[in-house]
């Protein structure tokens, strides 16, 4: 499940609850991982309150090239090109993903399809697959 913790979309890892305190509310202590940075986030909330779930979308885009400064050149099914998303690097949740994507592109055995995840106002490449030519 993905929820918003401290203004970032997080995948929930653990939820623990405390007993009702002197003010009458039990607390939920929530630990999650930011889906874009991989950083651990802790938050607490009264168990009587709701958490906000972000609208998360994924899009498949074909990788055509990688610029010298690490940006992916991506093409959608209409042929429109975008160059505004960086390949994952050492600061990403999966530090090896960018190198794996570059290797797949350089192997040239088919199209490299990048899966772009969008939530709130952020987008990043979270996975890839190859389509054999």
Rounded to whole angstroms, how far apart are CA atoms 22 and 95? Answer: 45
Residue intervals in the chain for CATH 2.30.30.30: 2-46
Distance CA 21, CA 9 (A): 29
Task: Please say whether the structural domain 2-46 has been given the CATH code 3.50.50.60.
Answer: no
Strand order in the sheet with 27-34: 2-5, 8-17, 27-34, 40-46
Query: Residues with Cβ < 8 Å from 122, sequence gap 6 or more?
Result: 9, 36
Give pLDDT tens digits for 69-121. 999 999 999 999 999 999 998 888 888 999 999 999 998 878 999 999 999 88
With 0.75 as the threshold, say if the pTM is over it.
yes
CATH number of 57-132: 2.40.50.140
Instruction: Write the pLDDT tens digit of every residue in 4-55.
Output: 888 889 999 999 998 887 777 888 999 999 988 889 999 988 888 888 899 9
**CATH 2.40.50.140 in the chain, residue ranges:** 57-132
pLDDT of residue 41: 94
Query: Which tokens in the block code for residue 133?
Result: 């030519």
Using 50, 70 and 90 to split pLDDT, how confident is the model at 133?
Answer: low
For residue 29, the model assigns a pLDDT of 93
């Amino acid at each position: 499940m993905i929820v918003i913790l401290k203004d970032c979309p997080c995948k929930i890892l653990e939820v623990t609850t405390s007993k009702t305190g002197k003010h009458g509310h039990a607390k939920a202590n929530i630990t999650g991982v930011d889906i874009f940075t991989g950083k651990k986030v802790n938050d607490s909330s009264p168990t009587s309150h709701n958490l906000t779930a972000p609208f998360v979308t994924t899009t498949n885009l074909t990788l055509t090239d990688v610029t010298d400064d690490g940006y992916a050149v991506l093409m959608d099914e209409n042929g429109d090109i975008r160059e505004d998303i960086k390949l994952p690097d050492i600061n990403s949740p999966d530090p090896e993903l960018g190198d794996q994507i570059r290797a797949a592109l350089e192997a040239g055995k088919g199209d490299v399809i990048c899966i772009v995840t969008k939530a709130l106002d952020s987008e990043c490449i979270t996975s890839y697959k190859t389509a054999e030519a």
